Amino acid sequence: MIDLTYPALLEPLAPFLAPKRNESASFLIWYLNNYYRLDEVDAVDSVCDQMGDKGVDGIYVNEGAGTIDVFQSKISQKAKSTIGDTQLKEFAGTLTQFSSKANLQKLYDSAGDTQLARLIRRLGLIELLGSYEVHGVFVTNSTLDGNGEAFLQHSPNIRFIGGKELTKLYVSDQKDTLKIGKAMFDVSGFSVASYAVDKDAKAFIAPVSAKELLKLNGIDDQSLFSLNVRASLGNTQVNRDIVSSIKTPALHKKFPLFHNGITILAQKVDSDENKIIVENYFVVNGCQSLNALYQNQDQVTDNLRLLTKFIQVEAGSELSEIITSYSNNQNGVKPRDFKSNHPIQTRLQNEFKSLYKNEYAFEVKRGEPIKGAEVISNENAGLYLVAFDLREPWTTHRKYQVFEEKYADVFGRPEVTADRILLCHILMKEIEAKLSQELENELFGKYALTRYLMLYAIRRALDSDELGKELLSNPGKFVRDSKSRVKLQNTLSELLDSLVIDLNVETSDLGEDFDYRGKLRDKDYVTQLSNDLIAGYQKEVKRKKATPLSERWKQANK
């Protein structure tokens, strides 16, 4: 639950509060970051709340919805304040400036060198206006009164997001990070190195008994490593070497000489000549080693010690994030790993837990322990979205881009929700089944990029169908309930059959020397092939040899 009353509201806004930025602008940036799922940079870039901005507080081109969203935001310091029709009428007047290219040009010309003018120019709004609908979004921590409700009934282009809506729709981007409690380590007879950064941050380094480390809470369920960029990676070469050392008693006393050590962060660390005490702690480096020790604890002797660095730092602080990132170097770190604790990934994972508990789970880090649910990795989800939303199936072989230069484009959009990812996952499972069963050219069918070609083709088919448009705008309606998911699969089966039949025609006579690997990386080839597949399906519908999706959905619901 989030507290939207003032001044409690300022706590979640803290990362966005800044000199020369008013609280209303910070509130809107927070909204765009948390509810539109925008990257922080994109959220800040979308806001233009300053003098001379003609009643416009922010603009975002929502390509997924095909809209230009114009924002106005208001913070009330009164606990039970309401918004009536007066402010909404003023906002409606603001939106008339976007009613035509001529009006928007006048707005741009009169705005001078304001943030609004620069935003209109950067987004190319005047050119986009004809092909995008303009929607107004009024964001506030207040509630709507009767007059406001009456006004909105006749203003379908304005969406009101008040305190009730914000509370209902809020998904936390925070992890349960700390193991609450104390842990003590006996270091009597050993030298302890200490280093103080300032009055709040300090560190101690000492050879610590492996047996005492194994008493830390949270190893068994992996919660101790919630802020580590990876969970246990299993049977890697590095981990096999660690296990081999554990199983060789003669090496135990030498362990600190060749092992990189453990890093434990805690809210409080104290030390004297005999012991080190940590309070409210978590491990950011050493996940692989502690898991190897835990799984082979019967082999651990009193001689086995690990150099352990205890750092007093606040969880979630910028310094703790730096330590986490820079400390992980024993097993190779991938771009995906560094995004495992990003707020967007945490929010999606929490959303899956809320909506699809025990059915589907969102994996954000390698080796993450997940039980009792079908796992969807964020790497696969990213590739789905590249093909389905970004419409670039020919680039899905470059997986690293999902968590590097394409990260904000892939995940930092309001339409990227647990519902949408699950929709893509369901479609991909159906595609894989159809290709394996029905595509005659097995080499073409088994090639990974073929699946993304088909996902792209399905997206294009959905774009041209009324039911498809509803599915894209509100996937939760079709996938949250297990029975609805079955109906959706039945509805889309004929479309998939048609696409696979036409793909068979296109690929059945390809020679052994056909470069399918290169062709499926070729934008022009993939675009033309998908054009042919969609054209074939649309002909089937026009000839009434295939049933339109909307009709099949009605039949599935009878």
CA distances from 108 to 45, 53, 61 (A): 17, 10, 17
Distance CA 290, CA 166 (A): 41
Tokens of 58: 């922010």
Statement: the pTM of the whole predicted model exceeds 0.85 = no
Three-state DSSP state, 107? helix
Distance CA 121, CA 31 (A): 23
Is residue 333 very low, low, confident or very high in pLDDT (cuts 50, 70, 90)?
Answer: low
Cis peptide before 7 (omega within 30 of 0): yes
8 A C-beta contact, residue 439 and residue 504: yes
How far is Cα of residue 150 from the mean position of the Cα atoms in its chain?
36
- Per-residue pLDDT of 107-141, as tens digits, reads 999 988 888 998 999 999 999 998 899 999 999 99
Distance CA 25, CA 15 (A): 12
Distance CA 524, CA 526 (A): 6
* Averaged pLDDT of the chain: 88
- Per-residue pLDDT of 260-313, as tens digits, reads 889 999 999 999 989 999 998 988 888 888 888 888 899 999 999 999 999 998
Is residue 174 very low, low, confident or very high in pLDDT (cuts 50, 70, 90)?
Answer: low
Domain boundary assignment for the chain: 10-169, 179-331, 343-556
- Per-residue pLDDT of 511-555, as tens digits, reads 666 777 788 999 999 999 999 999 998 998 889 888 889 888 988
**C-alpha dihedral over 315, 319, 321, 323, to 10 degrees?**
-110
Rounded to an integer, the average pLDDT of 16-26 is 87
Q: Which of 307, 279, 267 is nearest to 216 (CA)?
A: 279
- Per-residue pLDDT of 187-245, as tens digits, reads 999 999 999 988 889 999 999 999 999 999 888 777 777 655 444 444 455 567 788 88
Distance CA 304, CA 245 (A): 10
